[in-house]
Amino acid sequence: MKSSEMNSEIEEIVKSRSKGVYSKWRIGRANSSSDAKKQHGNPDDWHDWDADTADDAIETVDYFVDKGMRKEGVGYGGADFVYIFFSGSPQEEL
């Protein structure tokens, strides 16, 4: 998936789930989305995309970090999966 397509989908999720508050979300890149999800404790509100290239993944992550998302670790080499998950207060509802 191209970075512009991922950006559009992520924008919609953040707007609909947290009223556009980017700081309540974490974003990262990984070589395996399922491994990354396990490493983060299998969050309920998890979303991931398979980028066309590692550069598309980097572009999307950087775009949302600039908007206030918290960046997670990155995969090695050509990590081309992008993931986000909600990390607001456990008492908050989505």
**Per-residue pLDDT tens digits for 14-73:** 999 999 999 999 999 999 999 999 999 999 999 999 999 999 999 999 999 999 999 987
| CA 39/CA 53 separation, integer angstroms | 23
Of residues 45 and 91, more confidence is placed in: 45
Domain range for 65 is 3-86
d(CA 69, CA 47): 14
The answer to the question of residue 91 being in a domain is no
Residue 76 has pLDDT above 90, yes or no: no
- Is residue 94, in this structure, part of any structural domain at all? no
Task: Provide the 10 A C-beta neighbour count for residue 4.
Answer: 11
List C-alpha distances in Å: 87 to 11, 46, 56, 57, 90. Answer: 16, 10, 24, 20, 8
Record the tokens describing residue 71, joined without a space.
Answer: 């960046």
If one counts the domains in the chain, the total is 1
pLDDT for 89 equals 61
92 falls within a domain? no
Copy the structure tokens of residue 13. Answer: 């999720």
